[in-house]
Chain A
């Protein structure tokens, strides 16, 4: 139930990026879904085939990268996956504090197929193309302290990036006390790009 509208959103976002590159088909979509994002990969998968039907996403191979939530020890700084009914650090027994690791929920990449004469560039400035040294996308908005980036899966260094093409979504401030940028998997915004 809960995954249906969000899967529509995934198809919409993918279409938007695909259209920017004049894709005739989306071959694959890679999602990063933290276990604490509240979304279940299997359910997304199930709805995806139904929702994608008749769109350029039809038949796309959906890859879902799960991320286990990690806590950070307030005493020794270690990152760890907690044991059931405990928040204690396995190394020193200190209290584990929540991190953004495990709350990710973003589209990492898509594979597009185009049928045009010249390789279609994006209409206007858009997210970096993987392979051309993802400097563009990767360098933006890696969340402070790099907590997320390290696990987000995109090659280790650049996890939390908001693509340059998606200022709208990427820059949104969730209105809670300033934690903003690092919310939900680091795909959320850069400072200074926040909506005025």
Chain B
């Protein structure tokens, strides 16, 4: 007998990624590691911001995973500064996903509690769609990108726990419409702190590091 039937499936295709992400988070929380997924366009200043935050986060052991399409220059630079840094190369893929991070995390010895920064692949679209086990997402944007980015890439702004508006030292040379930027951003994200920062002047990083330390304390309390 030949039988044809329709079956309701209703299965989330991201299910497996999210499942792995959940376990990464659970495992690292248990080890006292707070995980920040650092996202932003290529060259926006992700690595620079991570270095500056680490410099301010005294008393928190820093770990960094660098997601990059193919190089490891950022990782080498971080190691040269004495930071425990690890490389994931995606070989063409435009974002990190939970299985990639899971493999990397398994090979890292977290000998002390601390904060793990995961620098995602430079891209303002795809990384926002994939959980990789983070406690929070830090979105780096910059005055050089233009003020319309919350409108064009709403998901990245919506999902961010903290937003760093970077390279503000360059603002005098640009036309960055801050009120238009903030209006769009606040429509879709009411809670994330928005911190103006510059690695040239050092402004903003104290505040951003303070926010992260608070989040880490909350996430890891009672583990």
Interaction A to B = yes
Query: Which A residues are closer than 8 A to B by beta carbons?
Result: 1-2, 5-6, 9-10, 13-14, 17, 21, 27-28, 31, 36-38, 84-88, 95-98, 103, 105-117, 119-120, 127-131, 134, 136-138, 154, 161-163, 166, 168-170, 172-177, 183-185, 187-188, 195
A190 to B113, CA, bound (A): 32
Q: Are A107 and B5 in contact (CB under 8 A)?
A: no
Contact: A134 with B12, CB < 8 Å?
Answer: no
Q: In the bound complex, do residue B15 and residue A187 qualify as a contact, i.e. CB atoms below 8 Å apart?
A: yes
The DSSP consensus for interface residues of chain B is mixed
Show 24 A/B contacts (Cβ-Cβ < 8 Å), sorted by A.
A1-B92, A5-B97, A13-B13, A31-B13, A38-B129, A85-B151, A87-B187, A87-B188, A95-B186, A96-B187, A112-B5, A116-B1, A119-B5, A131-B6, A154-B8, A162-B12, A166-B9, A166-B11, A170-B11, A172-B19, A173-B18, A183-B18, A188-B12, A188-B18
Q: A85: which B residues are within 8 A, CB to CB?
A: 148, 151-152, 184
Q: Which residues of chain A are near B186, meaning CB under 8 Å?
A: 95
Smallest CB separation, A32 vs chain B (Å) = 9
| Total inter-chain residue pairs, C-beta < 8 Å | 191
CB distance from B39 to the nearest CB of A (A): 13
Residues of B within 8 A of A (CB): 1-16, 18-19, 21-26, 92-95, 97, 125-126, 128-129, 131, 133-137, 148, 151-152, 154-155, 158-159, 161, 184, 186-188, 190
Distance between Cα atoms of A146 and B41 in the complex (Å): 34
Bound-state Cα–Cα, A134 to B1, Å: 24
Check B25 against A9 for contact (C-beta < 8 Å).
no
9 extra interface residue pairs, beta carbon distance < 8 Å, beyond A2-B94, A114-B2: A1-B93, A117-B1, A127-B9, A174-B18, A175-B131, A175-B133, A175-B135, A184-B14, A188-B14
